[in-house]
Each structure stands twice: as structure tokens, then as C-alpha cells.
Structure 1
Amino acid sequence: MSDPLPILVHGASGRMGQTLLRLCGEADPPCRAVAGVRREVRQRVVGGVPQFSSRELQGTPAFDVAIDFSLPVAFDGVLALCLERGAALVSGTTGLSDEQRHALAAAARRIPVLWASNFSLGVAVLEELVERAGAALPGWDCDIVEMHHSRKVDAPSGTALSLGEAATRAGAEPRYASLRAGDIVGEHAVQFTGAGERVELVHRAGNRDIFARGALHAAARLAGREPGHYRLRDLL
């Protein structure tokens, strides 16, 4: 049995970071968090994992993959660290600037990188199905309906926009509708409508653990790959 994959959790104080630390040992193949990085450190060890502030990145232990769910202001630092150490980067940090996206694309010439708006494996499959349906049903109406909890501000969601990009690549012209209510984790429906018939492709998230599990899945399969800009669906 191989040793667990050493990963760095960047953004360890956030909801996703905490979930990653909790589920790391359950990943298949197994992963091991060697460190968590957060903006400020009040406790040096959390759950047996050493904690570092964002100013202490250079002092973090060796790792094969960094999983980043932080803020745009912290993204440049972890990308630079991965380049310096030749480590892979899995990131779900949203709100990146055009310059940061260009830097990520440039980094992909030297290390394997993956950025995604949603780390659900089911959504990765949904995206592929949307692209296939759009190509097979030219001229049909395409509507994307997404639902999230009442505290979510952005609309349409990043996932809905990614699904829309998949539909657009296939020649469809997606329209969007958003609903914010209660504590809905996330639901996305892509509907293709023709004369007298309708096709619906739906994904419903039951809990937020699926996103952390998907990120760990991606990290385990990205480690050791050739440099490049990967998609989650490439690693299924």
C-alpha cells in the first residue's frame, strides 16, 4: 500500500478548508494534510495538523499538491509556492482577476494545475452531458435554473455559468434563472426544449462534503501528472 499523498490545505480556516482537514484521511487513495495555511494563526496545531499563517508559506513542510480555497488576495502566494516546489495546485478560489488567470495559465506550462468553480464529481459529469446534448439538439431552447441558500449573493452561480459555457461550446444559447431560498446547498437543472418535447439534466447537492471529496479526488489524481491545465472531468 502506498503512503498517503501529502497535501497542503490553503485557506484552512474557511468552511471548505475545515471540511478538507476533516475528510482528508477518508480519501481514496488516501491523503495526508501536512499543514494548514490561514490568514492568522491562533492555535499552532489543529486536529494534529500544523497551522501556518499566510506570511509563513516558506516554512510549510514538503507537499505534493496544494488544495486552495482561499481569497484572491492570497492566491498569488500559493501559486508561487507551488511553482517554486514543483508541486501541483488544485484551486476553487473564486473572484480571480484576469491577471491571476493568466498567471495560472502560465504556471500550467511548468506544473499541473486545476481550477474549478464546483468540485462535485456529479457536476463534472453533468457538464459533459450538457455539452453532448447541446451538440445533439441544435436549435433547441436551453435554460439553466439554479437554486441556492438565501445567503448566496452572486447570481447566476459560478456552476451555472460553467454549465452555460459547456452549452455554448456546443452551439446552444443558454438563458439563466436563479432562486435563493432557505438552506438549499445547491441544485442545477439544464433544460433543452424542442417542439413537443423536453430534456432535463439535473444535479442536486445534499451536503457540502461532496465538494471537499471532489477536491481530494482531484488532488490524488493530479499528483505526478505532466504540467498542464486540467479540468475535473479529465480526472474522473
Structure 2
Amino acid sequence: MIKIAVTGAAGRMGGRIITAIKEAQGMELAGACERPGHEMIGQDAGLIAGCGESGVAICGSLEEALKSADVLIDFTFPEVTLANLKVCADLGKTIVIGSTGFTPEQRKEAERYAAKIPVVLAPNMSVGVNACFKLLKEAAQILGDGFDVEIVELHHNKKKDSPSGTAVRMGEVVAEALGRDYNQVANYHREGMCGERTKEEIGMQTVRGGDIVGEHTVYFIGMGERIEISHRAMSRDMFARGAVRAAGWLAGKPAGMYDMQDVLGLK
């Protein structure tokens, strides 16, 4: 039985993860954490998630939430995640990270902690999205430099980072397959007399509105033809299920930084 603790337990994503744990075989909710002073502290995490009584009360201390847990699932924000990662490293607990918006420096800090414990860090836990990453690599290698690449992503109006971590990873996958440096070729802004599109650039466009869970489309645009590889998330459940799957996969793994491509055996 894999015993899991969840951060942000009273939030939308936390609730879906708690529900996914309850529905998964061999998984057990062992801890639930919220920020100190949160109004839901002391409440049953399962009842707050809407999946029935769990016997686990939401607490305001990560250390307390991890007492009986093997692994932490964290979908918060980079600064919070890094603090939680330090606690996990100090306690020898594994961690699955679904937070997005890490800077290169924050990513390096996470990798330092991963030298002590096994960590799964992925911008998107969806099985479908990770299948898209593999398809994008193959498409880019086949099409080569003869096709322009544009990426468009859509999310709800509460999302704080832009472009999404998934869109960035898609751009990185394509750039790597084409032998380009993503940080050099990504183009986030086009306005006014910006000149013709360069051959190497990868356009990144962002849309925010309403309650869109997440949509990503990569366009390979050639002369007289266009290929589109798209993924549309209908709910947050697939992210939650992927995170729980990753938590189970981590059991017994050596210290190191992993992603969902490792979890799904796609590398």
C-alpha cells in the first residue's frame, strides 16, 4: 500500500488528487496539508474533496502531513514547491511535482534536492500529453526545417504562469529534435512592424479565459500543407490520475530527477 500526502488539499486540484487516490488500487491517503491559517484546517480531507469521509484531517504543517506518508504530491507554485521539496529531502520522503512556472535557477535547485531523494517533476501529468511529446519529437525529425512551428495554448483565467509549462515543454521537445536552442528561438511577442518570421523561430501564443482546463496545439506549417497535433483536457482528473500513477511508480526508485516519460516508459 502506497501512502500519499497531498498539498493544497482544499483546492480544486488537491480535491481531484484525493479523489484519484481513493479510486486507485494500492493507494491510501495518509496526509493532507494546507497553508497555515486556512479555514479548512481540521476538516476531513475526503469530505472537502467530495469523495466521502477519509479519516484524514487537513493540517497546517507539512511535517505533520508526512508523518505516515511515503510520498508527497505537490501541485502548488514553484516557491512553495521548493520549500516542500526541502522538507521531503530532509525527511527522506519521495515527491511528485506538478507545479509549473519554474525558472532555470529554480529547476537547478530542485535537481539538487533530487540528488537525495527520487523526484518526479513534470509540467503535465496527463498520459495523453506525454504521448504528444513523443509524437512531436518524431514529427519534427521527419519534417525537419521545411516547416514553420507555432504553438498555441489556452487555459482558464486563473492561471498565473504564461506560457504554460506544457507549451514550453512542447517547444523544447521540438527544438531539441531540430537541433535548436529553445531559449534562443522561442518567440513570445509579435506586434507592430516586427519583420518577417525567421526560419528557426518557434512561435508561442497564449489565450486565457473562462474555465478552460487546458488546450495545446502545435502547428507544423509548410508550403501547401499543415499538420496539427492537439491535446484538449476535458477535466483535471487526468492530471490527478497521472500524479497518483507517478507516486506508485516512485516506490523503490533511487534518488534522481524523473519525469512522466520515465513513468510511462516512453524514453
Q: What range describes the TM-score normalised by the shorter chain of this pair?
A: 0.7 to 0.9
Residues 97-146 of structure 1: per-residue CA shift (max 9 Å, x gap): 55542221112222211112221111111111111211121111111121
- Identical-residue share of aligned pairs (%): 41
- SS of match in other structure, 1:182: coil
Distance 1:95 1:200, change over 3 A: closer
Residue 90 of structure 1, CA deviation: 0.6
Mean Cα deviation higher: 160-169 or 65-74: 65-74
Post-superposition shift, 1:13?
Answer: 2.4
TM-score normalised according to structure 1 size: 0.88
Cα distance change of structure 1 residues 77 and 148 upon mapping to structure 2, 3 Å threshold: closer
Question: 1:62 maps to what in 2?
Answer: 68
Runs (4 or more) in structure 1 with deviation over 6 Å come to none
Higher-Rg member (1/2): 2
Q: Which residue of 2 aligns with 1:221?
A: 249
- Conserved? CA contact 1:149–1:182, under 8 Å: yes
d(CA) in 2 for partners of 1:120, 1:206: 11
The corresponding residue for 1:90 is: 96
Q: Is the 8 A contact 1:110 1:227 kept in 2?
A: yes
How far apart, CA to CA, are the structure 2 residues paired with 1:81 and 1:153? 25
State the match for 2:3 in structure 1.
6
Paired residue secondary structure (2:144): coil
Inter-partner Cα distance in structure 2 for 1:20 and 1:91: 12
Report the secondary structure of 2:170's partner residue: helix
Flag structure 1 segments of 5+ consecutive residues without an equivalent. none
Shift of 1:235: 0.8
Which deviations, in whole Å up to 9, do the C-alpha atoms of 1:69-97 show, x marking residues without a partner? 12344324421232233221111223445
Counterpart position of 1:123: 129
The count of aligned residue pairs is 231
Alignment of 1:205-220 (within 5 A): 205-220=233-248
The answer to whether 1:39 aligns with 2:35 is yes
Q: Which amino acid aligns with 2:167?
A: A
TM-score for the superposition, normalised by structure 2: 0.78
User: What does residue 172 of structure 2 align with?
Assistant: 165
Q: Which amino acid aligns with 2:17?
A: L
Residues 7 and 59 of structure 1: CA distance in aligned 2, closer, same or farther (over 3 Å): closer
Question: Could you tell me whether the CA contact under 8 Å between 1:164 and 1:174 is conserved in 2?
Answer: yes
Q: CA deviation at 1:36?
A: 0.5
**Structure-1 separation of matches of 2:177 and 2:66:** 44
Residue aligned with 2:116, SS: coil
Of 195, 198, 204, 2:226 maps to 198
> What SS class does the counterpart of residue 138 from structure 1 fall into?
helix
C-alpha contact (below 8 Å) 1:58/1:81 kept by paired residues: no
**Would the aligned equivalents of 1:37 and 1:57 in 2 still touch at CA under 8 Å?**
no
Q: Report how far residue 59 of structure 1 moved.
A: 6.6
1:51 aligns with 2:58: yes
Letter in 2 for 1:103: E
Cα distance, 1:59–1:157 mapped onto 2, change above 3 Å = closer
Could you tell me how far 1:24 is from its partner in structure 2? Answer: 0.9
Contact 2:32/2:65 (8 A) holds in 1: no
Higher strand share: 1
Q: Which amino acid letter does the alignment assign opposite residue 112 of structure 1?
A: P
Q: Does 1:15 align with 2:12?
A: yes
Indicate conservation of the 8 Å contact 1:192/1:200, yes or no: yes
Q: CA deviation at 1:65?
A: 1.3
Cα pair distance change 1:160/1:135, threshold 3 Å:
same
Superposition pairs of residues 135-174 of structure 1, within 5 angstroms = 135-139=141-145, 140-171=147-178, 173-174=201-202
Q: Could you tell me which residue of structure 1 aligns to residue 190 of structure 2?
A: none
Q: Structure 2: any 5+ residue segments left out of the alignment?
A: 47-54, 181-200
- C-alpha separation between the residues in 2 aligned to 1:187 and 1:103? 29
Instruction: Give the letter aligned to residue 212 of structure 2.
Output: I
Q: What is the distance in 1 between the residues matched to 2:232 and 2:44?
A: 35
The separation in 1 between residues aligned to 2:223 and 2:104, in whole angstroms, is: 41
